[in-house]
Amino acid sequence: MATYCLTVARLQLALGHGARRLHVSAAYRAKAQVSMSRFEPTSYVNYDKLRSNVDIVKKRLNRPLTLSEKIVYGHLDDPHNQDIDRGRTYLRLRPDRVAMQDATAQMAMLQFISSGLPRVAVPSTIHCDHLIEAQIGGEKDLARAKDINQEVYNFLSSAGAKYGVGFWKPGSGIIHQIILENYAYPGVMLIGTDSHTPNGGGLGSICIGVGGADAVDVMAGIPWELKCPNVIGVKLTGSLSGWTSPKDIILKVAGILTVKGGTGAIVEYHGPGVDSISCTGMATICNMGAEIGATTSVFPYNHRMKKYLESTGRGEISALADDNADLIVPDEGCEYDQLIELNLDELKPHINGPFTPDWAHPVAKIGATAQEKGWPLEVKVGLIGSCTNSSYEDMGRSASLAKQALDKGMKCKAQFTVTPGSEQIRATIERDGYSKIFHDVGGIVLANACGPCIGQWDRRDVKKGEKNTIVTSFNRNFTARNDANPATHAFVTSPEIVTALAIAGTLDFNPETDYLTAPNGEKFKLEPPFGDELPAKGFDPGEDTYQHPPAEGGALRVDVSPTSNRLQLLEPFDKWSGKDLENMQVLIKVKGKCTTDHISAAGPWLKFRGHLDNISNNMLIGAVNSENDAVNKIKNRLNGQYGGVPDVARDYKANGVSWVVVGDDNYGEGSSREHAALEPRHLGGRAIIVKSFARIHETNLKKQGLLPLTFNNPSDYDKICPDDKITIKGLTTFVPGKPLSAVVKHADGSEDTLVLNHTFNETQIEWFKAGSALNRMKELQ
C-alpha cells in the first residue's frame, strides 16, 4: 500500500483558544491510498508559543522584526533573558525537528548511540539519498545501491527504529525535496545535516544546515547554539518572464555576494517581485544560498506557498498560516544589515562557473568569455535535477523545450541526464508524460537521489584529466566535485538553460537570440519555456518508501560488526591536557580555496562515512600544498620523505607529534560534512589556523575539540613556513573574547609571535576542555 508521509498534516496545532486537530484531506488520502496507521505520533506545532516568544522579544528590543528574526527568536529557549545582538551573541534555540541524509546520518547516529540516551527528544528523520551512484539508469542503479550498501541501510533502519527516528528508504528521494513535500511549513525551525537544508526557506521555514554533533544536541533535547545572525535583505521588484527563472536570482546574488558574502547572515527575500516566483522556485533560491555562506535563506508567506501546501495535502496548514500571517512576514519598517535590490524585469538568464558557484555570467556573454579563457565550448553532458532544481515546474519547463526539439526531429547533441527530486516527482512526471519526452530526446532518467551532484557518478565518456565542459542545474561546481576529474569545467545554471545547451551541444548558444538547425535544414528558435507550477491532476505519491519507528524500540538491537569496513563505533577523544599546546608541527600549509570537498572528498569515499578510521584516509587529499603546489604530497618532517597527507598525519600521531593545519580564506566552505572536522581530530590534529572560516565548518571543529583560530592580521599567513613548529599560548586563561597567541618557530631558529582570534563562547570552551561536545554532554548527564 502506498503511503505518503505528511508530518505537518499529522500535527495538532495549538492555536488561539484551543488545539485544532489536522487531518490529511480525504481526497488526497484516497489518491495516495494512505494508511493512517503509518503516520508518526501526534506532535504539536504551537503558533501561540511562537507568538508569545515574538511578543516578548519585540517588547524587549522595541523595534520591528524581520521575518527571520521572528522565526529564530520565536524558538528561543529563554526569550525573557536571552542576550540578543545580531552578529555578536550566541542564541540558545529549540528547533522543532531534525533531518539527516544517509551519508551524515551514519556518524550522527553513532554519536547519538555514544551519548547513552534512549530515544530522540524531537521528531527526527533519516533520508537515504547520498549512497546511490548514477551509472545506468534509475531502477538498476537503485537495485545496485541497495545491494552494496545493505549493511549501512540496515544500520540506519535499525538505529532509527530503536531510537525513534523515521526512516526514508533508498529511492524515496533527496532529503530537501522530501522535507519540502512533508515537513517544512511557514514558521517551523528545522536543522538538517546537509548544507542545502535551507531549501525549506521556500516554504517560509527557517531550515539550517549543521554538522552531526549539532543534530545530536537537538535530538538529545539540549538547546542548540547559533550565533545571532545578521540579516541581509534582498528586495525583489518586477516579475520573472521568458527565459529568466528563479535560479537566475540566486546566480545573480551569488555573483554579488561571492562565496563568503553571506557568512553569519540569513538572507531574507521580500518585495513585490516575490509573488512572481513559485513556492518551489523560492526553494531553489534558498537552496543555493548555501553557496554564498549564508546561515539560511527565507521567503515570506504568500499565496504561492498556500497553493503548494494545498497541493501536497496540507490545506489546513495553509488556513492556519492565513490566520497567523502577521507572524510569517516581516514587520513594516524592519531594518536589514545589508540591502540588495533586484529588478526581475531586467534580470537575464545566468550561468555560473567554472570551478566556483559565484563566478556569474549572463548566458548571452558566456560564449565569448569561454573563447577568451580557453574553456571547452562543446557541452559533453547536460544534467538537470538535484535538490536545487527537480520540482514539477522545473521538469515541465525543461520538457517543453525538449518537446520543441523533438517536433523538429532533433535530439540532444550532448548527453542528457534527469534526476527526479523525490519518488513523488518521479511518479508524477512519468504519469504526465515528461519522462517519455526526456527519454525520446536522448535523456536518461536517474534514480531519485543526489547522484552526480555530489560526485556519485560513474562517468565513462571522458578520461580523467581530459578537459571538457558540463552544464548542470545543481548548486555547487567545485573542482572535480561531480565526476572526480579536475579538468572538468562545470557550470551551474537553470534546468531550462541546461536543456537548451544540451540540445545545441555548445556553450556559446544563446536561446534568446540564436537559431538551431533541424535535420531537414530548417532554422528555428526555441520558444521560451513553459510549464505548470503544480500538476493539474495532483501529485502521484508513487511507491511506499517510509518506515515509521515503533512506539517503543528500547529492546531492539543495533549491531555494528567489529570487522566492518563501513561502520565503526566511536571512541571518545582525549581531553585537553590543561596546558598550552607546544611545538606542534605544521602538517600542511594550504594554498587557496579549501572546501570541505578538499578536506574530505565525497564520491567513492561516501561508503566510509560511518567508519572514522577508514574515511580519514581521504583527509585533505584535495588540498593544495603551498610548498610545492601539489595535492596529497607533503613532507614528513620526521624522516624527510614525501607522502600523502593522511599517511604523514598517521605517522605523526604514532610518534606522539601533535600538528596544525594552516589555511587561507573561507576555509571549509561547502558541505556541512563533519567528517572534515572529525578526521583531523582522529589523526592527531589540534588546531586549524586560517584567514577566515565558513560557518558550519568552524562550528564542527569546535564540536570535536579542535581549535579553529584566525589570524588577527591576515598577512601573518605569509609568515608561516611549511616546516615551522607552532606553540599556542593563552589556553590556561582561555575565555571568550580574549585572543590567543602563537609562537612560530622557524627552521633557522628565528621566531614570530602572532595574535590569533577565536569565536568561542563559554559553553564551547567547555567542549574544548572536555575533548569534544559529546564528551561534555556525557559529563553533564
Active-site positions read: 129-130, 194, 476, 671, 673
CA atoms within 13 A on the CB side of 761: 13
C-alpha cell at 9: 498534516
Chain centre to alpha carbon of residue 325: 28
Question: How many other β-carbons are positioned within 10 Å of the β-carbon of residue 238?
Answer: 16
Strand partners, 585: 659, 725
Q: Are the C-beta atoms of residues 698 and 624 closer than 8 Å to each other?
A: no
Q: Are the C-beta atoms of residues 380 and 516 closer than 8 Å to each other?
A: no
Question: How many other β-carbons are positioned within 10 Å of the β-carbon of residue 568?
Answer: 20
DSSP class of residue 432 equals T
DSSP letter string, 109-172: HHHHHHHT-SS-SS-EEEE--SS--BSS-HHHHHHHHHHHTHHHHHHHHHHHHHHT-EEEPTTS
Q: Are strands 642-643 and 18-21 parallel, antiparallel or unpaired?
A: unpaired
DSSP letter string, 726-776: EEEE-GGG--TT--EEEEEE-TTS-EEEEEEE----HHHHHHHHHTSHHHH
CA dihedral 494, 535, 418, 287 (to 10 degrees): 50
C-alpha cell at 124: 527526527
The set of residues, in sequence order, having a beta carbon less than 8 Å from that of 494 and lying 6+ positions away, is 245, 246, 247, 248, 251, 349, 389, 473
Strand partners, 741: 729, 755
- CA pair distance 703, 545, nearest whole angstrom: 33
Shortest CA distance to 479 belongs to which of 263, 631, 256, 289? 631
- CA pair distance 725, 659, nearest whole angstrom: 8
Secondary structure element (H or E) that encloses residue 69, with its range = helix 67-73
C-alpha cell at 142: 537503485
H-helix segments, 488-623: 495-504, 596-599, 612-615
- CA pair distance 316, 10, nearest whole angstrom: 11
- CA pair distance 313, 29, nearest whole angstrom: 8
- CA pair distance 404, 645, nearest whole angstrom: 51
CA atoms within 13 A on the CB side of 82: 29
Shortest CA distance to 499 belongs to which of 443, 566, 558? 443
